[in-house]
Structure 1
Amino acid sequence: MRDEFLGVQSLLMAEVFEPLFEFIEENEIEVEDLWLDIFQSALPRPAPPVEPTYQDYNDTGAIYLPEDIDKWIAFEEAMERYRAALEPFNNSNPDDELARDYICDFFNDAPSEYAIVETLEKAFKPFDDAGGDQLSNTYFVAVQTFIEKFSLRYDVRRPSFNRRMSIYPTLPGLFTKMLRDLRLSSAQDAALAELMASFEETIRDLHDERSPRRVKQCIAAQFNLLEAMLSQHPNILAYNAAMENRIPQGQKANTFGAMCNKAGVWPHNKVMESAKAIYSFASDYPGIRHGGNPANQLREVDMRDLLSISVILTGFSPYLSPTMDPEKIYLD
């Protein structure tokens, strides 16, 4: 379970829409071409791909660079997919039964989480137009029940101030998606994937022994992952390359603190200082990253520290990884 509509979207017709039409029949609500109204109001029209920009052309005006040819091939393949998607969309427009089939196919193979959420939000108005509060309230409850049944990380709000029904990600949902995106981001690099696996292994090891030693191992493993991630940030790579090419060579940013100084990702110095401060804790506390300074230890670490510090460090990950997309973490 992803805690999202993706993964259970194929059940939306049976769990939400078909019961609504049974409700319409049972209550003898007069509707006409409601599937078509939902299709026209809520379903996104397939969008054509954006033609790429090419680097160079030969004397006859044709592309010739291998990377440009690859772009052109990818664009043509995307255009074929677009044409294939556009035909059933256009065919469904005038027919209520075809519109129903298209909606079913859309949910079974939805392009993104955002597309599902937006479609469910927009579908409120056709139900409201067809049956007023009686039908729109039933639709609202059906969507809300679906979310609760499958433990999806959303809140549903009724329309207000002439706005449509809204489906909002919750804070637990955002954190879950951020962790998943961190895993996906790490998987793109073998070294990061190994560090991510090591971190997750230390979390699993706590099942049998929630000791200070294992808590320290968890914290250290997550620091190792984030430090390695920051070292691969394009701004750090560019800075270190510039230092290497200087004559005489300049000082590279190799430590977490130095990399934080050069990353250029922070909205305010205090945010950067907080990241450096939590790293200093791990270096200074005995047994996490180094021998540390026993005189500065106030107490032994426990599960409070694991939970709090893991959440804090995960919260820094969108700053440190350029491949994590905050917009998609919020809703995609």
Structure 2
Amino acid sequence: MHRIGYVVADGFQVMSLASQTVFEYANVVAGEPFYAIENYSVTGGLVRSSLGMLIETAPLGAPGHAQTWIFTGVNDPLTVAPSAELLAFARLAGGQARRTAGICTGGFVLAEAGLLADRRATTHWAYASELQRRFPDVQVEDDRIYIIDGTIWTSAGMTAGLDLAMGMLEKDLGAEVARSVARKLVMHQRRTGGQSQHSELLALAPKSDRIQSALDYARLNLAGPLSVEALAEHVHLSPRQFTRVFTAETGQSPAKAIENLRLEAARLMIEQSRHSLETVARETGFRDRRHLREVFLRGFGVTPLAVRRDARGS
């Protein structure tokens, strides 16, 4: 039996525990109790969530009590510091357990314990920059649903904890069981770790009508070349002035923004249509299927075929 220990502290966000349902239903689908789940805290006893709900916990003992340890998040990691005892246990768990995970801002506990040093990690987008500032040796990727780096797993916001749990389930029991659990939980789509936390179309949020107009033009013409010169001409600016204003307002270069828009459009086509990858590449402005795959891997960390398999399976 695979034992999973959820580690909570006062003020934990109750949504962190929602991912336990994935493992519960995995036992139902498997027809046997493959997973055993228990909640832990430093001293044991009742622990109060940020909502005020109390849950009973067992005291933390040896990390060998579970093969997977999952550290839950809090609403604001800037005001809640993990205790020395919790950090000491996290270090032991990270060195001994099969998997150690941080859901949402639970990643701050792992980072404080030194488990994320020189690793890729994610957290809720609202705190990603703070995680990077506090722990410069962590490679923070603020646009990922969840990330696996060796034995360390981290997820974005609370609902992404469900996706992280589904990823664990698939590794343990296979894709078919994972798809069956997703159906039972009425998860519209089981998201892969490489998916973005937020829409690129919303994230750019330019301040001026000119740059907004350029983006609107780009969205309608993704299949075209969309050079800086063409975009600048559309809004009656010189290429140099357009690049300067665009970067200042969006935080991205025009080339990077267009690539991200194309990636998002391609991902949506792959998930929601039956068009061939050659057609998807052509319609979203990539040279060919191979170019699409290269940029997809760089942007999302997964291949277009993997995203399509997950979408169809869900």
Pair in the same fold by TM > 0.5: no
Higher RCO by CA contacts (8 Å cutoff, separation 6 or greater): 1
Q: TM-score, normalised by structure 2?
A: 0.29
Report which of the two structures shows the higher radius of gyration computed on alpha carbons.
Answer: 1
Which structure has more strand as a fraction of its residues?
2
Q: TM-score, normalised by structure 1?
A: 0.28
Which structure has more helix as a fraction of its residues?
1
